[in-house]
């Protein structure tokens, strides 16, 4: 083995080669890791359960029906005329998460309010029809929602989430 010292040109060539080799290996390793990370995402059989159909004909005004969708509780609430008026009477400038009631229901189906019944604070299930605004009251940390499931008081940052859904005829909705 000769003990020649490297010229600056040799050295810069070597550095480039080393950097290229490291980068190629790095990109290869990153690509190899991706499938492993993706394997922890929802699998096909879980995704296949992503939509559910619900018969809503038995729900009376002022009542809700709870169904499970993607492992979460979804509330389908048939609101009374008074509750709808109350929701529309609010000045949305006062709201923490400003949204009109019309934005939270389907046009012509204002009676029906469909929400994911999970408090946007830390994930507890709020109780329907309770609290100052007669919408929802969360027993965990006292968040209060109105009859449009908008946050009015307490620590929660956002309104109850509306899942994607559509009416399939007059008495059925499809969530997801």
Partner 1 sequence: MSNHLQNDLEKSLVEKSKAAKWVNDRLPIIGMLENVLLKHPYPKNLSYWWSFGSIAGIALVVQILSGLFLSMHYVANTQMAFNSVEHIMRDVNYGWLIRYIHAVGASMFFVALYAHITRGLYYGSYKAPRELLWWIGIVIFLLTMATAFVGYVLPWGQMSFWGATVITNLFSAIPVVGESIVAWLWGGYSVDNPTLNRFFSLHFLLPFLIVGVVLIHLVSLHTVGSNNPTGVQIKTKKDIIPFHPYFTIKDMVGFVAFFLIFGYFLFFYPNSLGHPDNYIPANPMVTPAHIVPEWYFLPFYAILRAVPDKLGGVLMMFGAIALLFALPFLDRSKVVSGAYRPLFKKVFYLFIINFVFLGWLGKSPAEGWYIWASRFSTFYYYAYFLVILPNLPKFEKTLPLPESIDADFQKNH
Q: Looking at the annotation, which residues are catalytic?
A: 141
Query: Which residue, chain included where needed, has tokens 């359960």?
Result: 49
Write down the least CB distance from residue 48 to partner 1, Å: 8
Considering only 2, 41, 57, 58, the residue that binds partner 1 (CB under 8 A) is 41
The helix (H) or strand (E) run that includes residue 167 is: strand 165-167
Please say which residue, 1 or 30, places its beta carbon nearer to partner 1.
1
Is position 30 an interface residue for partner 1 (rule: CB under 8 A)?
no
Write down the least CB distance from residue 1 to partner 1, Å: 8
Of the candidate spans 33-41, 83-91, 99-107, 147-155, the one that interacts with partner 1 by CB under 8 A turns out to be: 33-41
Token code pair at residue 147: 């009859």
Is position 39 an interface residue for partner 1 (rule: CB under 8 A)?
yes
Q: What is the DSSP letter of 52?
A: E
Is position 35 an interface residue for partner 1 (rule: CB under 8 A)?
yes
Please say which residue, 17 or 127, places its beta carbon nearer to partner 1.
17
What distance in Å separates the CA atoms of residue 59 and residue 76, rounded to the nearest whole number? Answer: 9
Judged on CB neighbours under 10 Å (0-12, 13-18, 19+), 112 is: middle
Is position 38 an interface residue for partner 1 (rule: CB under 8 A)?
yes
Write down the least CB distance from residue 3 to partner 1, Å: 9
Q: Which residues pair with 174 in a beta bridge?
A: 53, 166
Binding residues for partner 1 restricted to 43-102, rule: CB under 8 A: 43-46
- Length, in residues, of the chain: 176
**What is the chain's Cα-based Rg?**
27
Cβ atoms 90, 83 nearer than 8 A: no
What distance in Å separates the CA atoms of residue 83 and residue 32, rounded to the nearest whole number? Answer: 55
Write down the least CB distance from residue 44 to partner 1, Å: 4
Binding site for partner 1 (CB under 8 A): 1, 25, 35-36, 38-41, 43-46
């Amino acid at each position: 083995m000769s003990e020649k010292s490297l010229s600056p040109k040799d050295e810069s060539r070597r550095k480039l080669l080393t950097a290229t080799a490291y980068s190629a290996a790095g990109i290869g390793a990153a690509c190899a890791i991706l499938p492993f990370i993706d394997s922890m995402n929802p699998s096909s059989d879980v995704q296949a359960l992503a939509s559910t159909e619900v018969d809503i004909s038995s729900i009376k005004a002022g009542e809700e029906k709870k169904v499970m969708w993607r492992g979460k509780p979804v509330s389908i609430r048939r609101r009374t005329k008074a509750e709808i008026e109350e929701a529309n009477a609010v000045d949305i400038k006062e709201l923490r998460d400003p949204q009109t009631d019309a934005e939270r229901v389907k046009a012509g189906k204002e009676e029906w309010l469909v929400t994911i019944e999970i408090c946007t604070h830390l994930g507890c299930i709020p109780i329907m029809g309770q609290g100052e605004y007669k919408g929802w009251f969360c027993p965990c940390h006292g968040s209060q929602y109105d009859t449009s499931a908008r946050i009015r008081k307490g620590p929660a940052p956002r309104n109850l989430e509306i899942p994607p859904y559509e009416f399939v005829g007059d008495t059925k909705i499809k969530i997801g």
